[in-house]
């Protein structure tokens, strides 16, 4: 991986990174009251189509096309892309059962063609799915058809997504990817614990929903979570998740953004590496977050939400 091709890729994304919106620039956009002015400024960021209408999907596709053409080895992004495949799997199974069109909810880019996944899921042919998706598909379909327990089905698929993401990073063998996927999974696990405790979920549910990560001992975490949130936070205090546990203890309103930033910080050590994936992955994540923030901003403005509400909903983890 350490070759001149990555040197070119890193140099290119560093130049483009300077064009991403800063926290201050995002804040100034929230304060814009005139719709035409807001659309003009969104147009400057490439978020409008030829008819002058917002088109964030096109912007996301252009960002990925740029990254894809830049990478000397596209497999390096597999651990990130597969998260979209498992999201698409959830959408397709639910669409099949509810007899709805899944197209508006499908995400890209992904490792596998969503149309191929749809054909296999809608034909109820598990063996036609990629091997990595089969177990999660069987479990989710069985849960939904036998119990209708959508939350459990989602949790099973989400766990599989995290564990497959970490597995792909380990198979590829890049230390940056391994650290990133493990931190991402750990932060996702913490969110699951928090939601489960708040909803009074049993330990058996949490066990099926939480992924195995090396950042904390899952069995011990489950025991602590079974005693309540304070016990879980005490357990996490000496682990790498201590900053997030502290944010929860302090009822920090930025907890969700800090979860987003937790994994991204693993890329900071490689920011100066001219021959590695860290700067490229960091740019991709920041560009994706910018698109999400702009989508939240425009939706909030169109629904006449107060500025403070829009700011609270925007994620500023990588900015």
pLDDT digits (tens, 9 = 90+) for 178-237: 999 999 999 999 999 999 999 999 999 999 999 999 999 999 999 999 999 999 999 999
Cα-based torsion angle of the residue sequence 197, 201, 202, 208 in order, rounded to the nearest 10 degrees: -100
| Per-residue confidence (pLDDT) for residue 154, from 0 to 100 | 97
| Per-residue confidence (pLDDT) for residue 106, from 0 to 100 | 94
pLDDT digits (tens, 9 = 90+) for 104-117: 999 999 999 999 99
- Chain-wide mean pLDDT for the chain? 90
d(CA 311, CA 45) in angstroms, rounded, equals: 19
Highest-scoring range by mean pLDDT, 9-23, 72-86, 264-278: 72-86
Is the pLDDT at 281 greater than 80? The verdict is: yes
Is the pLDDT at 46 greater than 80? The verdict is: no
| Per-residue confidence (pLDDT) for residue 52, from 0 to 100 | 83
What count of other Cβ atoms lies within 10 Å of the Cβ of residue 53?
Answer: 9
Percent above pLDDT 70 for the chain: 95
Q: What is the mean pLDDT of the segment spanning 290-307?
A: 89
d(CA 108, CA 58) in angstroms, rounded, equals: 11
Is the pLDDT at 258 greater than 50? The verdict is: yes
| Per-residue confidence (pLDDT) for residue 179, from 0 to 100 | 94
pLDDT-based confidence at residue 45 (cuts at 50, 70, 90): confident
Q: Where are the alpha helices (DSSP H) in the chain?
A: 4-17, 23-30, 35-44, 56-70, 78-98, 114-122, 131-146, 150-172, 175-199, 203-209, 218-227, 229-236, 242-249, 255-264, 278-302, 307-313
pLDDT digits (tens, 9 = 90+) for 128-177: 999 999 999 999 999 999 999 999 999 999 999 999 999 999 999 999 89
| Per-residue confidence (pLDDT) for residue 1, from 0 to 100 | 44
């Amino acid at each position: 991986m350490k070759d001149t091709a990555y040197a070119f890729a890193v140099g290119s994304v560093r130049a483009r990174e300077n064009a991403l919106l800063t926290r201050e620039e995002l804040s100034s956009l929230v304060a814009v009251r005139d719709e035409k002015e807001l659309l003009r400024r969104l147009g400057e960021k490439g978020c409008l189509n030829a008819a002058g209408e917002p088109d964030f999907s096109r912007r996301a596709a252009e960002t990925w096309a740029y990254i894809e053409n830049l990478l000397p080895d596209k497999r390096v992004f597999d651990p990130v892309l597969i998260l979209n495949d498992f999201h698409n799997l959830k959408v397709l199974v639910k669409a099949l059962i509810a007899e709805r069109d899944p197209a508006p909810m499908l995400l890209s880019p992904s490792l596998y063609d969503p149309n191929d996944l749809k054909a296999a899921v809608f034909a109820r042919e598990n063996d036609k799915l990629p091997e990595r998706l089969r177990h999660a598909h069987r479990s989710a379909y069985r849960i939904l058809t036998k119990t209708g327990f959508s939350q459990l089905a989602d949790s099973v698929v989400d766990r599989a997504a995290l564990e497959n993401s970490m597995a792909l990073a380990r198979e590829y063998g890049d230390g940056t990817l391994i650290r990133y996927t493990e931190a991402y999974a750990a932060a996702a696990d913490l969110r699951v614990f928090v939601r489960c405790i708040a909803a009074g979920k049993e330990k058996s549910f949490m066990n099926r929903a939480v992924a195995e990560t090396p950042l904390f001992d899952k069995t011990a975490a489950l025991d602590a979570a079974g005693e309540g949130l304070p016990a879980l936070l005490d357990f996490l205090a000496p682990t790498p998740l201590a900053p997030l546990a502290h944010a929860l203890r302090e009822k920090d309103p930025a907890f969700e953004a800090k979860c987003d930033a937790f994994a991204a910080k693993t890329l900071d050590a490689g920011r100066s590496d001219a021959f590695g994936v860290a700067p490229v992955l960091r740019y991709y994540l920041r560009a994706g977050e910018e698109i999400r923030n702009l989508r939240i901003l425009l939706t909030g403005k169109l629904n006449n939400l107060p500025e403070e509400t829009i700011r609270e909903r925007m994620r500023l983890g990588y900015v």
